[in-house]
Amino acid sequence: MARINTNVGAMIAQRHLNASFTKLNSTLERLSTGLRINHGKDDPAGLITSERLRSEVKAVGQAISNTQRASLIIATAEGALDEVAALLRDIQAKVVEAANEGAMSDDEIAANQLQIDSAIESITRIANSTTFAGKHLLDGSLDYITSGVSPSAINALAIHGAQFGLRSFIPVEVEVAVSAQYGQLFWVGSTLASAVTIEVQGNLGVTTLSFSSGATIAQMVEAVNAVSDATGVSATLSTGGFYMSSSELGSKQFVSVQSLPGGAQFQMQNAAGQEDKRDEGRDATATINGALSRGDGNHLTLKSSTLDIELSLVRTFGIGTTSFAITEGGALFQIGPQVNSNLQVNIGIQSVAASRLGNAAVGYLSQIASGQDFDLKTKRFQEAQQIIAEAVSQASVIRGRLGAFERNTLDTNRNQLGITMENLAASESQIRDADFAYETSQLTRNQVLVNSSTAALTMANQTPQMVLRLLGG
């Protein structure tokens, strides 16, 4: 064809040259950015998927950061509790030392009291000064706030975890179906017919008591109670005889009374009126918010996904119901990439101030200070030791729970999130990142196509000039 107005060959060459330039520029962009998808047009579906994966990677990364920060908070609180535990051990030692009255002067006991006062003040100071980024950790700021707790029903309450979810408060209903009981035996009579020697044993120890013929129940009760601190068995007068009971409630508590060989028999009866030498207590059985809770004596616990709670009922609480509400509080940690209650953990950290260590049944640590009910001058060493034992137990439980929370919840969560982040990042890279081996091969191909298209266009532009030969011929 010898037409000059329309150079079809040049148009075809130019179109292919433009296409080759476009591909070359796209390849150069991918090589310079390292991304296969730089615009939505590159891969619309891949762009959508990769953007979602990028968002998830960012959320998981923040969840890892949140978990690490939570670990630092828990570690700070746990470190302070170690100091509290050391101070409690010192207080315990001073009380035991002061109880050695025969070898201690009044001045030495007074000096011990001063050291106890200093230790108690230090414990409260630690509770008030342990902070993380301005947030108080051990003064009760991270404990749960309750409403409607009846002191006539509950004498100790600790809430370790509660998930509010979308609720503004959490109602708690405790319904006792089987009440806790003491280990208890009953002796029928008013006076002894003949001399007897008995062995009395309880949870704290064993001792022997000898009674002469004609001993009254009042004398026997007095003798049993005189050593109750060593046996854990106390006696109470009753109509037609007296009871021997364990000092605490529950199936772990027991009373054992046996006549020693060579003397008269000392016969005791159980609650059914049958002759018996040993009786064990009974644990309470209750439901908390409908979930079964088997107690340790009158101490009830419940651990579920939404509520982790411990409470002690008063000793006189029988079969019945008590209720209260958890209104707010606790330390809420967002440890998952989505904001919902399944990916959040809530833990309560009780106050370790001296006025909060202990309970209403035995007393509080602050009551061992000078001028209080159980300071060393009162010589109520046993009661003081019971308070310290309860304080040590509480501080140890808090520390243990924080350690378990850090190890089993935070550390495992951080490890799992790290694996998740690796997989998400790998998936996002597979979709969006450029394959340099492939792109460099495409670069070579596109460069050849551009050069060949340029040469073809040059030849196409020269074709119309061949018509001049016809005119000159």
pLDDT tens profile 88-113: 999 999 999 999 988 989 899 999 99
Question: Could you give the 3-state DSSP secondary structure of residue 287?
Answer: strand
Question: Maximum distance among all alpha carbons in the chain?
Answer: 161
- Name which of 6-10, 94-98, 124-128, 130-134 the model is least confident about: 6-10
Angle between helices 381-404 and 44-98 (to 10 degrees): 160
Q: How far is CA 185 from CA 129, 211, 235, in A?
A: 51, 18, 10
Mean pLDDT along residues 320-345: 92
pLDDT one-digit tens code per residue, 161-198: 999 988 899 999 999 999 999 999 999 988 888 889 99
Question: Could you give the 3-state DSSP secondary structure of residue 340?
Answer: coil
Burial class (CB in 10 A: 0-12, 13-18, 19+), 264: middle
Q: Which domains does the chain have, with CATH numbers?
A: 35-143+332-433 (1.20.1330.10), 144-177+285-329 (no CATH), 182-280 (no CATH)
pLDDT number for residue 466? 74
Cα 39 from Cα 50, distance rounded (Å): 12
Asked if residue 30 lies in contact with residue 434, where contact means CB atoms within 8 angstroms, the answer is yes
Instruction: Quote the percentage of the chain above a pLDDT of 70.
Output: 99
Cα 254 from Cα 244, distance rounded (Å): 10
